[in-house]
A and B are shown apart, each in its own frame.
Chain A
Amino acid sequence: MSDLQLQHDIEQFLYRQAELLDTKQWQAWTELFTADGIYWMPPDASYKTWDGQPAIFAEDRNLMAVRMGRVLHPDAWSQRPLWGTNHVVSNVVIRKAAKNGDVEVTSRFHMMELRRDDVRHFAGQYTHHLVKAKKGYAIRLQRVDMTNAQAAYDYVLQVWV
């Protein structure tokens, strides 16, 4: 496969990931992950592993199911108001492409969030460890390093960024 083709496939995958979040297709989004896949947002870019450390998110598929169950529950009071996000993903750089098809890729994202009448912005770097799946790719690790990770949170993050 040419580099260009690989670049294209990976970019399309990353766009799809963001689109599933923005369109609230939570189940389809969690299914992007391998059975042992992890979604991780460290509080600080210096962290090397999600394991055994403070984390804003460090979720396997089971915890993702809890979060999804919460936001879909009719009594998730804080989810009731108008709420939506818009991701833009760019600066996609393939860091490693292994012979077996596994890929390590970084990109930059910008997420605008609307909640009630309040707008917030979150931005930073994605690092994806992707494995070749039957159809396209699956996420073994999605690391989200937010530029505003250490800043005080005005309200909280309810869903994955």
Chain B
Amino acid sequence: MKTNHKPNFRKMVEPDRVRKEVYTDEEIFRHEMERIHETVWIYCGHESQVKNAGDYVTVQIGRQPMIMVRGKDRKINVLYNRCPHRGNMICGDMKGNTGDQFRCSYHAWTFHHDGRLKNIPMMESGYKGTRLTKDSPELCMKRAARVEAYRGFVFASLAKDGPTLKEFLGEAIVAFDDMCDRAPEGEVEIVPNCFRVIQHSNWKLFMENQIDALHPSVTHQSTGRAAHEVEKQLAKKAKSGEAPLSYHMLSAFATVTIDKWDNFQTINYPYGHCILTGYMGLRPQDPDTLAYDKVMIKAYGRKRFEEIVGVNIHHVLVYPGLSVQSPLQQLRAVRPLGVDRTLTEIWHFRLKGAPEAIYRRSLAYYNLVNSPATLINADDLENFWKCHTGLSSDGGDWVSFARHHGRDIENKGVVSSAPNMGTSEAPMRNQMKAWAKYMSGAAQEGSR
């Protein structure tokens, strides 16, 4: 639905601050869905979720219910989950196998996996002399305008024109390279479980928080401290003198104090993407790691192996809807449900060919940090709700992103936080810059 009256989006975003309505206004949200989420490349799922012909999952792109399905020709299709007859949704489940066709539950029209009409009951007699014939395009399930995959990760764009997936991802493509390269076989496979958590806030608060280096030691102090206490006790008791790594993953949230975060760095790219460099020291020398190193060296040779494990990434953010922790093989996809409600879908991947212990290590992070009983995100979600509620008030008009403003290093459109200024609010400024570009229609003139 196109809205006629258009707010002046450029005026809402200044280099170091943003109007609060950007987060709370329903009309702006509708524009966002149209101009951003239903235009750019959005992550649909991983190829290993639909291994066999007829396997499908449903997925939300912007406000559009979609189906990702594997065809008999092995090709992956992304279709609108809507029957061309009278609009019934075709798939009511979140996943399944549809056999060799989709069959609408209302009047039994059937469709091929690529959306083409297969059959209408009594078509001959029912439609003779009408505007519809067997090859009328409006009898097919509508397809996403563009579908592309990179190393098994499937994206769709609902706009006919615009950058290719690779052009869109740019340097953020490292999210998928880093994850897959860490597998001795160069591929990952999805762990078939999705944790789904809803936050009561605008989607942008999630995207900003993911690479907010200023918040962990404050927001997550309680868990970090509690984990550190247990970690110390376990280390004392352990023969190796070290507690299991999962405790370090949690305690780091408090032991890496707010001042230390300035040592890290964010690198910010066109389209709003961002990389946060690593901090957790995930290259320990325990027997499990050494066994993994051996398999990797065998697969890649030592030189390439060193390159792969030397990639220094904590988080890659693919704006507007994906947060990837490649060294831990986890991915969170953001699905806006409304201006003040956002769903995240949280997945874990297995490194093909890696020892079981390596899978278990990142699984611990998945369970402790990313499950619905999360010891970490509980406090983030509380902040998101409080932010959204505060921003909905008349207590102020602006959100400030002024930290280290003017001190970032810019080079050919790439903005890095300066040395010892890792807590720069550059990522937020960069996201809002991309946002304003999208919203004013300058970033990608796509038509549907």
- Verify A156–B373 contact, CB threshold 8 A: yes
Option from B356, B360, B375 in Cβ contact (under 8 Å) with A67:
B375
Option from A62, A75, A76, A154 in Cβ contact (under 8 Å) with B230:
A62
Interface size on A, residues (CB 8 A): 34
Option from B193, B360, B377 in Cβ contact (under 8 Å) with A44:
B193
When chains A and B are docked, how far (Å) is the Cα of A75 from the Cα of B221? 7
B-contact 0/1 string along A25-54, CB 8 Å cutoff: 000000000000000010110000000111
- Verify B226–A152 contact, CB threshold 8 A: no
A-contact 0/1 string along B212-241, CB 8 Å cutoff: 000000010111011101100010000000
- Verify A70–B222 contact, CB threshold 8 A: yes
- Verify B193–A156 contact, CB threshold 8 A: no
Residues in A whose Cβ lies below 8 Å from that of B343: 152
- Verify B226–A158 contact, CB threshold 8 A: no
Contacts A152-B198, A155-B198 given; indicate if A66 touches B382 (C-beta within 8 A). Answer: no
Q: Is A78 an interface residue (CB 8 A)?
A: yes
B-contact 0/1 string along A118-154, CB 8 Å cutoff: 0000000000000000000000000000000001111
Q: Is A84 an interface residue (CB 8 A)?
A: no
Min CB gap A52→B, angstroms:
6
Option from B222, B225, B377 in Cβ contact (under 8 Å) with A156:
B377
Considering only residues 78-120 of chain B, those with a C-beta below 8 Å from chain A are: none
Contacts A43-B193, A54-B348, A62-B234 given; indicate if A157 touches B226 (C-beta within 8 A). Answer: no
Min CB gap A27→B, angstroms:
13
Interface centre among B199, B226, B366 (most CB of A within 10 A): B226
Chain A contact residues, CB within 8 Å of chain B? 41, 43-44, 52-58, 62-63, 65-71, 73-79, 151-158
- Verify A54–B191 contact, CB threshold 8 A: yes
When chains A and B are docked, how far (Å) is the Cα of A69 from the Cα of B371? 19
- Verify B226–A154 contact, CB threshold 8 A: no
Name the residue of chain A whose CB is nearest to the CB of B366: A54
Min CB gap A151→B, angstroms:
8
Considering only residues 152-206 of chain B, those with a C-beta below 8 Å from chain A are: 191, 193, 195-200
- Verify A156–B372 contact, CB threshold 8 A: yes
When chains A and B are docked, how far (Å) is the Cα of A74 from the Cα of B229? 15
Interface centre among A41, A77, A151 (most CB of B within 10 A): A77
Contacts A52-B360, A54-B193, A54-B367 given; indicate if A153 touches B219 (C-beta within 8 A). Answer: no
